[in-house]
Amino acid sequence: MKNMKGKYLLGALFMALLGASIALFAYTKIVMKPSLTVSKDSSKVEVRDAQAYLTSLQSQEGQIDFTYAAELTVHAVVHVHTKTVIGSQADNPIMQWFYGDRYSSKPREANGYGSGVIISNDGYIITNNHVVEDAESVDVTLNDKRTFTAKVVGRDPGSDIALLKIKAENLPYIKYGDSDQLKLGEWVLAVGNPFNLTSTVTAGIVSAKGRYLGLNEGNNKIESFIQTDAALNMGNSGGALVNTKGLLVGITSAIISPNGAYSGNSFAIPVTIVKKVVDDLREFGQVQRALIGVNIQDIESEDAEKLNLSEVKGILVTRVIQDGSAEAAGMKENDVIIKFDGQPVNSVSELQEQVSKHRPGYKATVTYLRKGKENSVPIVLKNQAGNTSVVTAAMDGDMFFGARLQSLSSSDKNSMDIDYGVKVVEINDGKFKDIGMSRGYIILNVNGKKVRTPDDLRQFTNNEKSLKSIGGIQPDGTILNYQFGN
């Protein structure tokens, strides 16, 4: 009996050990394995906790790294400092008592600042027109703290672009990219000098394209802003918007904010517009702006219904300019433009952006809808004068009685406390020079009618045939009116 009992206990012990071994093996295979490995590119990585897992995901190929673009561009963005002498209104002792120097006839110096982008190693710099307009002097400070006096090569209020030049060599610069290839949601960097700080980098995504804000000046203004959520503040104007490859895709220009500081939206001028304007200013000193020769507006649902359009898309032609390119191509009022050179366009700003890439004389193809039928016609773009010649400053449409005129800038309006008028920016031989009018005179009215644009003067004088009176403000702030005989 003892032998039998010993054999029974030995067998029981063996079975217990066998069961424990099977249980341990099963637990290892079934329970522990899922927590030991994760798959990444066909290799195995041990993951001990959630933080380690996230770190391994961040190391995968394709993750965004801004350091390359930032390092490539930060040294090619400069600080722009301007000085402007402002003359205020004529002496008014009562107003001067209450408001101080604003109503003193003594001129005063105003300082401004912004950013700029070096685009060549020999010192060409892009900035905004509104940064340097009316400036008596412009200084540029590089990221290495060297300061240079800059020459304003040219300005274009219509696109809010200005070109500067400094005497320097072997400068770091940013290469042009292609803003047409930007996609919504794509990462971009804004590089500038906010609040007089040295170069600062912020990041965001492309929120929208082709935005029209109504900010630019002139009769032929062009707006097709890139909207981003990259943080911009005072001083960022004229800085660089670059993609993650460090290529220039825009010039930062504006923010929409109730208090003037960043609040979620910022806007940049596409490099497709910038490059053309800069090339023109560099070569001619004046933008060679091409025109189709039509007045246009965005299509609304009411227009689509009236014209029996299947979709609310395209740009409605509201007027065809006499002797313009569109008239020569056979286009008519109520045509709906849907493509320019094969590129779909669905808003006025999108069409303007495409046209603005070209100079007068360029042969394009315009596709439009007329009574539901699609038509494509060749069209030769012309300048404002109705031809394809090169336009110089003395030939542009703002010459009047020998003087070159410009619409008022924001600083002009603020300093003179007015909201309309045009400014004399150049005096040549002609009636205005004969009567002693000087550069800087602001014309408020002609023949008793308020003047808001240079074109108003032509209209109110019957194209310079009738001039009875001119009223306005001299550079020192005094009122000076001119009366002429019948």
Please indicate, yes or no, if residue 27 is contained in any of the structural domains: yes
What's the pLDDT score for residue 104? 54
Q: Are residues 24 and 73 in the same domain?
A: no
Out of 13-17, 98-102, 197-201, 341-345, give the one with best mean pLDDT.
341-345
Q: Are 174 and 247 in contact (CB under 8 A)?
A: yes
* Rounded mean pLDDT, 129-156: 92
Please indicate, yes or no, if residue 389 is contained in any of the structural domains: no
Please indicate, yes or no, if residue 227 is contained in any of the structural domains: yes
Tell me the pLDDT of the chain averaged across its residues.
81
**Helix (H) or strand (E) run with residue 238 in it:** none
Q: What is the CATH number of the domain that holds 165?
A: 2.40.10.120
Q: Are 313 and 351 in contact (CB under 8 A)?
A: no
What's the pLDDT score for residue 122? 96
- Token duo for residue 330: 């056979």
The DSSP output letter for 387 is: S
Q: Are residues 214 and 321 in the same domain?
A: no
- Token duo for residue 241: 């918007």
Q: Are residues 125 and 162 in the same domain?
A: yes
Q: What angle (nearest 5°) sits at the alpha carbon of residue 400, between those of residues 395 and 404?
A: 60
Q: Are residues 420 and 346 in the same domain?
A: no
What's the pLDDT score for residue 351? 94
Evaluate the CA torsion angle 7, 8, 11, 16 in order and state its sign: negative
Q: Are residues 374 and 230 in the same domain?
A: no
- Helical H segments across 59-193, by residue range: 67-73, 93-99, 129-132
Please indicate, yes or no, if residue 409 is contained in any of the structural domains: yes
Out of 423-432, 441-450, 451-460, 463-472, give the one with best mean pLDDT.
441-450
Least confident segment among 34-38, 139-143, 256-260, 261-265: 34-38
Is 235 or 16 the better-scoring residue by pLDDT?
235
What's the pLDDT score for residue 86? 65
Whole-number Å distance between alpha carbons of 357 and 345: 14
Whole-number Å distance between alpha carbons of 187 and 255: 18
Provide the percentage of residues in the chain whose pLDDT is more than 90: 45
What's the pLDDT score for residue 44? 35
Q: Are residues 108 and 219 in the same domain?
A: yes
Residue 92 CB neighbours (<10 A): 15
Is 32 or 393 the better-scoring residue by pLDDT?
393
Residue 86 CB neighbours (<10 A): 18
Q: Are 231 and 190 in contact (CB under 8 A)?
A: yes
Whole-number Å distance between alpha carbons of 162 and 428: 24
Beta bridge partners of 403: 400, 427
Last residue of a domain, one of 10, 27, 58: 58
Residue type, 124: Y
Whole-number Å distance between alpha carbons of 39 and 155: 57
pLDDT in tens, 165-196: 999 999 999 999 999 999 999 999 999 988 87
What's the pLDDT score for residue 47? 35
Give the number of domains in the chain: 4
What's the pLDDT score for residue 227? 95
Distance between start and end Cα atoms, the chain: 149
Residue 371 CB neighbours (<10 A): 9
Q: Are residues 250 and 366 in the same domain?
A: no
Q: Are residues 152 and 228 in the same domain?
A: yes
| C-alpha closest to that of 137 among 124, 150, 125, 128 | 150
Catalytic residue set: 130, 160, 237
pLDDT in tens, 21-76: 555 444 444 344 333 333 333 333 333 343 333 333 344 455 678 999 999 999 99
Q: How far is CA 258 from the centre of its chain?
A: 20
Q: Are residues 52 and 118 in the same domain?
A: no
pLDDT at 469 over 70: yes
Q: Are residues 242 and 167 in the same domain?
A: yes
Please indicate, yes or no, if residue 390 is contained in any of the structural domains: no
Out of 15-19, 25-29, 124-128, 468-472, give the one with best mean pLDDT.
124-128
pLDDT in tens, 280-315: 999 988 889 899 999 999 998 888 888 888 888 899
Structural domain boundaries enclosing 194: 66-285
What's the pLDDT score for residue 359? 93
Whole-number Å distance between alpha carbons of 408 and 412: 6
Whole-number Å distance between alpha carbons of 279 and 163: 10
Last residue of a domain, one of 285, 312, 328: 285
What's the pLDDT score for residue 50? 37
Per-residue burial over 54-71, b = 16 or more CB atoms within 10 Å of its CB, e = otherwise: eeeeeeeeeeeebeebbe
pLDDT at 232 over 70: yes
Give the global pTM.
0.69
Q: What angle (nearest 5°) sits at the alpha carbon of residue 408, between those of residues 439 and 84?
A: 65
Please indicate, yes or no, if residue 386 is contained in any of the structural domains: no
Q: Are residues 223 and 257 in the same domain?
A: yes
